[in-house]
């Protein structure tokens, strides 16, 4: 009996050691060359490519959106090097202090799928005042109820964003993924935007299209 327990423990340990970490499984396929991005620049032996997606979150399963963040897809090309989302910041409208890239998990609560619809129609409820007074001030009806997607659906969106997020660690290049920067304003209010890379191999500034 003890022998069987020992064998099971060894098997579980082997599975844990062989299972990839969350960081190792993050990222998206890099484009063929840095020139395939909206902008690219050199930071020593590493070349950075990037494209601005405003409030959209591109994933292989389709586009998500976030109202609280703006998104940049970035790719690194060159020799193996240590990479991190913390190597990036975003200067919006020439602000003195650029906005640092934030952990992907902070985006979860604001993620939405623009194509998602409730599984049942939402009926507008008329208030009692609209019946008694014929509408009155305020349009005569209650605001439509807020419908939240099922927890399972929300987790699927979170997994999609996590999978596409920029990878970390000492990695062979090319590597690519999404970077998230807090910005709750409308994308139309962005007139200039610069992605700043400051990594182990050097620094680079990429002028992106708003």
Q: What's the pTM?
A: 0.78
Residue 157 sits at φ, ψ, to 5 deg, of -65, -45
Read off the pLDDT band of 19 (50, 70, 90).
very low
Q: Dig out the tokens for 191 from the structure.
A: 């007139």
Beta bridge partners of 39: 50
pLDDT tens-digit map of 65-94: 999 999 999 999 999 999 999 999 999 999
DSSP for the chain?
-HHHHHHHHHHHHHHHHHSPPTTTT--BPPPSSGGGSSEEEEETTEEEEEEE-TTEEEETTEEEEESSEEEEEEEEESS-EEE-GGGEEEEETT-SSPEEPB-GGGGGGGEE-TT---SSPPPPPPPHHHHHHSS-TTTTSPPPPP-PPPHHHHHHHHHHHHHHBPP-EEEPSPEEEEEEEE--S-GGG---EEEEEEETTEEEEEEEP-
- Give exposure, 22-39, as e/b (b: 16+ Cβ within 10 Å): eeeebbbebbeebeebbb
Question: For the chain, which domains are there?
Answer: 21-117+147-208 (2.60.40)
Q: How far is CA 29 from the centre of its chain?
A: 15
pLDDT above 70: residue 53: yes
pLDDT tens-digit map of 125-174: 444 444 444 444 555 566 666 678 889 999 999 999 999 999 999 999 99
Q: Dig out the tokens for 183 from the structure.
A: 């910005």
Q: How far apart are CA 201 and CA 198, in angstroms?
A: 8
Token pair 């659906």 in the structure block, residue:
153
Give the residue among 33, 72, 89, 68 at the shortest CA–CA distance from 204: 89
């Amino acid at each position: 009996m003890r022998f069987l327990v020992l064998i099971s423990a060894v098997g579980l340990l082997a599975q844990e050691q062989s299972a990839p970490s969350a960081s190792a499984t993050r990222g998206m396929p890099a484009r063929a060359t840095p020139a395939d991005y909206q902008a690219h620049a050199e930071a020593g032996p590493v070349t950075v490519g990037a494209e601005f997606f405003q409030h959209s979150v591109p994933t292989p399963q389709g586009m998500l959106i976030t109202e609280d963040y703006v998104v940049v897809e970035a790719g690194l090309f060159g020799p193996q090097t240590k990479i991190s989302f913390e190597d990036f910041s975003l200067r919006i409208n020439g602000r003195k202090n650029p906005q640092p890239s934030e952990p992907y998990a902070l985006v979860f609560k604001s993620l939405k799928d623009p194509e998602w619809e409730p599984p049942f129609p939402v009926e507008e409820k008329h208030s009692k005042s609209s019946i008694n007074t014929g509408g009155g001030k305020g349009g005569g009806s209650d605001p439509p109820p807020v419908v939240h997607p099922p927890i399972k659906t929300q987790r699927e969106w979170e997994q999609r964003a996590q999978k596409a997020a920029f990878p970390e660690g000492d990695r062979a290049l090319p590597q690519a993924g999404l970077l998230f920067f807090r910005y709750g304003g409308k994308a139309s209010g962005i007139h200039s935007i610069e992605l700043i890379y400051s990594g182990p191999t050097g620094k680079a500034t990429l002028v992106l299209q708003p």
